[in-house]
């Protein structure tokens, strides 16, 4: 039918002929380009012409990658900063714990020295569990009781002096009244001249006072008070307090003498309980608790 078609509608060689021709041409160009590199210039020129279009097309991808990289970098920096902050906190905690352990070891060595200086007073090392303080009572709860040989009336001391007195014992814990507790009174004497008196809790928090002392008594500021040993409540010679105020009391006619305890119960966690004292005191405390 094509042979009889008018020349106006003839379409040239058949499609298969053109396919063969283009295939041969393509193969020839590839062979020539491989052997003699004659199309490199054309290829470079075409690449330069197409590059702007490639750049524009790939720009969203590159922007997305850069944004993702920025997010990853920010997250990594934030994580590293948090890790560094945590390491600093841990190092600070370790340093604080090490300093606390060093101070506790130092205090334990001082307590050991105190114990060695009092061979006639067997002592038990105890640790503070918690404080039980009210408006009228100032008590410490320690981690040993009657199973360790503690009894009501036993004195509690640290390396600086008398802290208080055991007032109640359980099997594994005990309750200690501080010097400033209203239930405690301590027979004392002035270390400088041996003048005897009795120390009671003062109206001022954290202090003790000497009552019924004449105005002309030989007591001065900075004098040190120690236990006198009278009554069998406390062993003699335990440091108790240092005089801070000596003044006449116009109401009672006696001297008003206020002292600050030497013991550092509010700074330490370990103490010694002297077991040789307090046998009579234990009976007194038992009778007092029973009557209460």
Please tell me whether residues 159 and 19 are part of one structural domain: no
Rounded CA Rg of the chain: 48
More confident residue, 245 or 110: 245
User: pLDDT tens-digit profile of 224-257?
Assistant: 999 998 887 788 888 999 999 999 988 888 999 9
- 85 lies in some domain: no
Q: Look at the chain and report how many structural domains it folds into.
A: 2
Please tell me whether residues 15 and 159 are part of one structural domain: no
Rounded distance, CA 195 to CA 187, Å? Answer: 11
Rounded distance, CA 270 to CA 280, Å? Answer: 26
| Mean pLDDT (whole number) for 97-123 | 65
Please tell me whether residues 274 and 139 are part of one structural domain: yes
pTM above 0.75, yes or no: no
Rounded distance, CA 11 to CA 55, Å? Answer: 41
- 254 lies in some domain: yes
Hey, what are 243's tokens? Answer: 């005089």
More confident residue, 155 or 106: 155
Note down the domain range covering 216: 123-291
Q: CB within 8 A of 283, min separation 6: which ones? A: none
Adjacent-strand bridge partners of 209: 200, 258
Hey, what are 291's tokens? Answer: 């009557």
Which CATH number goes with the domain that contains 157?
A: 2.40.10.340
The pLDDT, as a whole number, for residue 93 is 67
Rounded distance, CA 169 to CA 134, Å? Answer: 19
- 22 lies in some domain: yes
Please tell me whether residues 24 and 130 are part of one structural domain: no
- 23 lies in some domain: yes
User: pLDDT tens-digit profile of 194-232?
Assistant: 899 999 999 888 899 998 899 989 999 999 999 998 887
Q: Residues 99-102: contacts with CB within 8 Å, 24+ apart?
A: none
Q: CB within 8 A of 187, min separation 6: which ones? A: 196, 197, 198, 199, 227, 228, 229, 230, 231, 233, 234
Please tell me whether residues 30 and 170 are part of one structural domain: no
Would you say residue 279 has pLDDT above 50? no
Neighbours of 39 (CB within 10 A): 14
- 284 lies in some domain: yes
Neighbours of 257 (CB within 10 A): 25
Adjacent-strand bridge partners of 210: 199, 257
The pLDDT, as a whole number, for residue 13 is 76
Q: CB within 8 A of 153, min separation 6: which ones? A: 165, 166, 233, 277, 278, 279, 280, 281, 282, 284, 285
- 24 lies in some domain: yes
- Find the helix or strand (DSSP H, E) in which 138 lies: strand 138-142
- 212 lies in some domain: yes
Please tell me whether residues 264 and 129 are part of one structural domain: yes
Please tell me whether residues 240 and 145 are part of one structural domain: yes
- 101 lies in some domain: no
């Amino acid at each position: 039918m094509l042979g009889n078609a008018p020349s106006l509608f003839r379409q040239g060689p058949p499609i298969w002929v053109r396919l063969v021709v283009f295939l041969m041409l393509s193969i020839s160009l590839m062979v020539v380009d491989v052997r003699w590199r004659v199309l490199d210039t054309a290829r470079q020129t075409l690449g330069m012409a197409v590059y702007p279009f490639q750049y524009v097309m790939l720009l969203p991808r590159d922007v997305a990658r850069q944004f993702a990289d920025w997010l990853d970098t920010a997250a990594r920096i934030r994580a590293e900063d948090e890790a560094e902050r945590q390491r600093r906190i841990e190092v600070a905690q370790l340093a604080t714990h090490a300093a606390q352990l060093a101070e506790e070891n130092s205090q334990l060595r001082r307590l050991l020295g105190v114990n060695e200086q009092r061979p006639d007073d067997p002592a038990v090392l105890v640790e503070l569990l918690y404080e039980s303080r009210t408006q009228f009572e100032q008590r410490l709860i320690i981690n040993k009781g009657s199973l360790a040989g503690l009894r009501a009336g036993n004195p509690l001391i640290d390396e600086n002096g008398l802290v208080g007195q055991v007032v109640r014992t359980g099997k594994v814990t005990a309750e200690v009244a501080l010097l400033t507790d209203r239930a405690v009174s301590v027979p004392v004497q002035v270390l400088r001249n041996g003048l005897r008196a009795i120390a009671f809790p003062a109206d001022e928090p954290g202090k003790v006072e000497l009552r019924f002392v004449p105005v002309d008594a030989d007591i001065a500021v900075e004098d040190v008070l120690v236990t006198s040993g009278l009554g069998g409540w406390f062993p003699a010679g335990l440091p108790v307090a240092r005089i801070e105020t000596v003044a006449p009391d116009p109401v009672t006619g006696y001297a008003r003498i206020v002292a600050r305890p030497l013991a550092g119960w509010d700074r330490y966690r370990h103490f010694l309980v002297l077991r040789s004292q307090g046998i009579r005191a234990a009976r007194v405390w038992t009778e007092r608790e029973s009557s209460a």
